[in-house]
Amino acid sequence: MKGRIKKELRAYLKPGVITLPTKERGIITIPVPVIDLPDLRYGMNFGGVGQGAAEPGQDLGPIATGQSDDAKQAGTKPGLDFVDVEITNEEFLEMLEAELPQIQPKGTRLIDSEDVKYTSVRRMGPESLRHLKRTWKEALKRQISEGSYDPEQPTIIPTKENKRYRSWEIIKKPQNNAVVVFMRDVSGSMGPEEREVVRYVCWLTGLWLKRQYNALETAYIAHDTRAWEVSTEQEFLEHHSMGGTIISSAHEKLEDVINRRFPPKDWNIYPIYFSDGFNWGPDDRKAIERIQNLLPSINQYAYGEIDLERWWWKGTTPGGFSAPGKFGHILANEFVGEEKVVYTSLKNTDDAFDAFKTFFGN
Amino acid sequence: MIRVSGLPGMMMNRKELPEEIKEVVRLIEQKARRARLDFPLVIFELVNEQEMNGLAATGGFPLRWSHWIHGQEFERMKKFYRYGISIIYEMVINTAPAYAYLLNSNSLTDHKMVIAHVYGHCDFFKNNVWLSHFNPKMADEIADHAIRVDKYKEEKGQEAVEKLIDDGLSILDLIDLHAPHIRRERKERDPVPKEPKRVQIPEGKGYLEEYLNPVEWLEKEREELKKREELERAIEQGLKIPVEPTRDVVGFLIQYAPLEQWQRDLLAILREENCYVAPQGQTKIMNEGWASYWQSKMMIELGLAESKEIVDYAARSAGTWAEYPGAINPYKLGLELWRDIEWRWDTGRHGPVYENCPFQEILENWDEFVVLRALYRKPLWERQWDEWCAFQEALSRGEFGFSKEVWDKKKAVKWWCEYQDLETILSRLENQKSELTEKIERAGQALAGFEADVQNSAWVRQICESDLEDVKADIAFYGSFAAFRKAFNEMKVRFKRRVIPENYLLYLDQSKGEKLEIGTGLEKMFEVRTFYNDINFISEFFTDEFCKRHQYYTYAPGTGGVPRDHYAVVSTDARQVRDKILFMLTNLGKPIIYVSNANHQGRGELYLDHVHEGMDLRLDYMKAVLEILYRYWQKKVHLETTVTQEERKSDPYEWLRKDIVQDPYARTEEEQKRILKGERRIFSYDGIRHEERKIAEVKVQRPFMT
CA A111, CA A103: separation in Å to the nearest integer?
Answer: 12
Q: How far apart are CA B504 and CA B447, in angstroms?
A: 63
Reported as a pLDDT band with limits 50, 70 and 90, residue A98 is: low
Q: Would you put residue B301 in left (φ > 0), alpha (ψ -120 to 50) or beta? A: alpha
How far apart, in whole angstroms, are the C-alpha atoms of residue B322 and residue A79? 13
How many other C-beta atoms lie within 10 A of the C-beta of residue B450?
8
Look at A1 and B68 and tell me if their CB atoms are within 8 Å.
yes
Instruction: Determine the residue of chain A that is closest to B585 in CA distance.
Output: A48
Q: Are strands A112-122 and A165-174 parallel, antiparallel or unpaired?
A: antiparallel
What is the structure's pLDDT at B525? 93
Kindly tell me if the per-residue pLDDT of B522 is higher than 70. Answer: yes
**Cross-strand bridge partners of residue A221:** A183, A229
Mean pLDDT, to the nearest integer, of B490-512? Answer: 81
The whole-number pLDDT of residue A312 equals 47
- Coil, strand, or helix at residue A57? coil
User: What is the distance between the alpha carbons of residues B409 and B398, in angstroms, rounded to a whole number?
Assistant: 12
Look over chain B and give the mean of its residue pLDDT values, rounded to a whole number: 79
Contact B618 A52 (CB under 8 A): no
Report the interhelical angle of B330-346 vs B412-420 (nearest 10°). 50
- Upstream peptide bond of A21 is cis (omega within 30 degrees of 0): no
Percent of chain B with pLDDT over 90: 11
- Chain A nearest C-alpha distance from B479 (Å): 41
Q: What is the pLDDT of residue B629?
A: 92
**Count of beta carbons in the 10 Å neighbourhood of residue B27:** 19
Distance CA(A310)–CA(A320), nearest Å, equals: 15
Contact A40 B591 (CB under 8 A): yes
**What is d(CA B687, CA B639) in angstroms, rounded to the nearest whole number?**
14
Q: What mean pLDDT comes out for the span B601-620?
A: 86
Q: Over the stretch B572-589, which tens digit does the pLDDT of each residue have?
A: 888 888 888 888 888 888
Average pLDDT over residues B130-144: 84
Q: What is the pLDDT of residue B537?
A: 93
Nearest CA of chain A to the CA of B449: how many Å? 55
Give me the helices (H) in B105-157, please.
108-127, 138-156
Tell me the average pLDDT across B412-424: 85
Q: How far is CA A198 from CA A218, A244, A306, B546, in A?
A: 16, 19, 8, 65
Q: Which of B345, B319, B315, B346 is nearest to B333 (CA)?
A: B315
pLDDT in tens, B465-499: 878 888 888 888 888 888 888 888 887 777 777 78
The predicted structure's pLDDT at residue B528: 94
Q: Per residue, what are the HEC states of B343-381?
A: HHHHCCCCHHHHHCCCCHHHHHCHHHHHHHHHHCCCCCH
* B228-237, Cβ contacts within 8 angstroms, sequence gap of 24 or more: B228/B197, B229/B196, B229/B197, B236/B189
- Across the range A260-273, mean pLDDT stands at 84
| Mean pLDDT to the nearest integer, B300-308 | 60
Between CA A247 and CA A275 the distance in angstroms is 9
Between β-strands B605-611 and A112-122, what pairing exists: parallel, antiparallel or unpaired?
Answer: unpaired
Task: Classify residue A297 by its DSSP letter.
Answer: G
User: What is the chain A residue with the closest CA to B66?
Assistant: A1
| Cβ–Cβ pairs < 8 A, chains A and B | 182
Other C-beta atoms closer than 10 Å to the C-beta of B496 total 8
- CA diameter of chain A: 90
Least confident of A24-28, B416-420, B597-601: A24-28
Q: Which long-range contacts link A156-164 to residues 24+ away (Cβ below 8 Å)?
A: A161/A123, A162/A135, A162/A138, A163/A123, A163/A130, A163/A135, A163/A138, A164/A121, A164/A122, A164/A123, A164/A130, A164/A131, A164/A134, A164/A135, A164/A138
How far, in Å, CA of B500 to CA of B372, rounded?
A: 9
pTM: 0.71
Cα R_g (chain B), whole angstroms: 31
In sequence order, which residues have a C-beta less than 8 Å from that of residue B11 and are 6 or more positions away? B45, B47, B51, B62
Residue from B618, B654, B673 to probe the interface with A (highest A Cβ count within 10 Å): B618
Residue-wise DSSP of B69-106 = HHHHHHHHHHHHHHTTS-----EEE-SSSEEEEEETTS
Higher pLDDT, B7 or A151: A151
Element (H, E) at B44: strand B42-47
Q: Coil, helix or strand for A356? A: helix
* Spatial separation of the C-alpha atoms in residues B367 and B373, rounded to whole Å: 10
Cβ(B339)–Cβ(B293) below 8 Å? yes
Polymer length in residues for chain B: 706
H or E stretch covering B567: strand B566-571
Tell me the C-alpha to C-alpha distance, in Å, between residue B467 and each of A284, A349, B40, B44: 96, 70, 20, 22
Residue in B72, B552, B621 closest to A39 by CB: B621
Nearest-by-Cβ selection for A74 from B71, B565, B571: B565
Sequence-distant (6+) residues with CB within 8 A of B42 are B29, B92, B97, B98, B99, B100, B118, B119, B122
Helical packing angle, B330-346 and B307-317, nearest 10°: 150
Between chains, do A47 and B570 touch, taking CB under 8 Å as contact?
Answer: yes
**pLDDT tier at B173, thresholds 50, 70, 90:** confident
Tell me if the bond preceding B97 is cis, omega within 30° of 0: yes
pLDDT band at A112 (very low <50, low <70, confident <90, very high): low
- Contact by Cβ (8 Å): B375, B368: no
| CB within 8 Å: B567 and A41 | no
* Interface mutation vs chain B, best among A37, A65, A163, most B CBs within 10 Å: A37
B602 burial type by CB count under 10 A (0-12 exposed, 13-18 middle, 19+ buried): exposed
**ipTM entry:** 0.73
Q: In whole angstroms, what is the distance from residue B516 CA to residue B373 CA?
A: 9
Phi then psi for residue A342, to 5 deg, are -120, 145
DSSP code for B130: G
How long, in residues, is chain A? 362
Q: What are phi and psi of A217, to 5 degrees?
A: -95, 145
Question: A274-319 pLDDT, tens per residue?
Answer: 888 777 777 888 888 888 888 888 888 888 888 765 544 444 444 4
Helices vs strands, H then E, count in chain A:
10, 12
Task: Tell which wins on pLDDT, B380 or B118.
Answer: B118
User: Which of A27, A40, A58 has the highest number of chain B CBs within 10 A, making it the mutation to test binding with B?
Assistant: A40
Residue A296, class by beta-carbon neighbours within 10 Å (0-12 exposed, 13-18 middle, 19+ buried)? exposed
Interatomic CA distance for residues B296 and B287, integer angstroms: 14
What pLDDT is recorded for position A261? Answer: 85
CB-based contact B126:B38 (threshold 8 Å): yes
Question: What is the C-alpha to C-alpha distance for residues A35 and B542, in angstroms, rounded to an integer?
Answer: 36
Cβ contacts (< 8 Å) between B590 and chain A: which residues?
A: 39-41
Q: Centre a 10 Å sphere on the Cβ of residue B644 and count the other Cβ atoms it contains.
A: 21
Helix residue spans in B188-260 (DSSP H): 209-212, 215-236, 249-256
Percent of chain B past pLDDT 70, that is, above it, reads: 81
User: Strands B675-685, B690-701: parallel, antiparallel or unpaired by DSSP?
Assistant: antiparallel
Distance CA B108, CA B17 (A): 13
